[in-house]
Amino acid sequence: MSQKKFTFEKHDGYYVIKFDGALDFNNCKLFEEEIDGNSNYANSHIIVDCESFITLHQDWIRLFLKLKSATKLTGKMFKFIHVHKELQASFKRLGVDQSFKIAKDLKEVLDEVGITVKRTINTEFINPFLLATVHVLKIQAAVEATAGQIYMKKGSENLNGDVSGIIGIVSETFNGSVVISFPEKTFLRILSKMMGQELTKLDKSNVAGAGEITNMIFGNAKVVLNQNGYGIRQAIPRTKQGKENDVGSDAKAPAIVVPFETQLGEFFVEIYLAA
């Protein structure tokens, strides 16, 4: 018997349909049984997440059209998001590009239908960053890091460290920044271990290492967060030397600080939500 390779993620007023890899022809029957067996779908906005596929068989076209018709009857939205260029071309080739409306991302659809999703910083959001921090330090620098007591600080207060990697969070539900901030000595010791050479002084090239550490932590956390529906977009980190807080407009919003202890010294993960 075929295994379901799709999920209907239920949210308040809408569903997001996600697929596990390419659209499996064998899953068509299961999908049709799912949509026929649940009248709630027709009464909700439906968003199809196309991130994992670039083509679709005629049978899937028929099923999506069926679901779209059902939502149309109740005045609900039916849209595709994260549509690759190849898939868009497929829509056109198969003559459904006028029927299958596309939005850039979930936020665009929710804005259109007037649904506001307020996300808050909670353990579900913070934990992936903490776990990623421990993982990255352990694998890339062979350093064991332990998180200490979390505390809040004013967003405008100075950064805790002398060298920081800063990466912006842009998502479908909120914006902000993540900062990995190191006192100078800790940073040089950790970077020395990563690079296998002793670094004794900060300079432009090794300060950039803070950006790389931040990039790895963010990348690993992002995978987990997006599996939980946060919709966080890709970003490129920057580095900062000095404690002055210039984390964009995020500096006005409160920040959560997680201090970490290692055998090489302490450092800090600071998470800012945009005001």
Partner 1 sequence: MFDPKTKVLIVDDMLTMRKIILKILEELGFNDVDEAEDGNEAWEMVKKGNYGLIVSDWNMPNCTGLEFLKLVRADEKFAKTPFLLVTAEAERGKVFEAIKCGVDNYVVKPFSKDALKEKLESTYKKVETRLSA
Residue 5 near partner 1 by CB under 8 A:
no
- Does residue 265 come out as left (phi exceeding 0), alpha (psi in the -120 to 50 range) or beta? left
The interface with partner 1 within residues 222-241 (CB under 8 A) comprises 222-223, 226, 234, 236
Closest separation between CB of residue 76 and partner 1, Å?
26
Is the CA virtual torsion 163, 165, 168, 171 positive or negative?
Answer: negative
Q: How far is CA 193 from the centre of its chain?
A: 29
The pairing of beta strand 14-19 with beta strand 238-241: unpaired
Cα(167)–Cα(176) distance, integer angstroms: 9
Q: What are phi and psi of 248, to 5 degrees?
A: 45, -150
DSSP single-letter state for residue 142: -
Tokens of 226: 């997006």
In angstroms, how far is the first alpha carbon of the chain from the final one? 50
Under 8 Å between Cβ of 187 and 202:
yes
Least distance to partner 1, CB of residue 29, Å: 23
Q: Which is nearer to partner 1, 43 or 140 (CB)?
A: 140
Site of tokens 């599996």 = 227
Q: Which is nearer to partner 1, 173 or 226 (CB)?
A: 226
C-beta closer to partner 1: residue 43 or 52: 52
What mask, x for binding partner 1 by CB under 8 A, covers residues 185 to 224? ------x--xxx--------xx-xx-xx--xx-xxx-xx-
**Sole window of 25-33, 37-45, 47-55, 176-184 interacting with partner 1 (rule: CB under 8 A):** 47-55
Per-residue x/- marks for partner 1, 56-95, CB under 8 A? --------------------------x-x-----------
Q: Which run of H or E residues covers position 220?
A: helix 204-227
CB of 13 to partner 1, least distance (A): 25
* Count of chain residues binding partner 1 (CB under 8 A): 33
- Min dist CB 252 to partner 1, Å, is 28
- Chain positions contacting partner 1, by CB under 8 A: 20-22, 51-54, 82, 84, 135-136, 139-140, 191, 194-196, 205-206, 208-209, 211-212, 215-216, 218-220, 222-223, 226, 234, 236
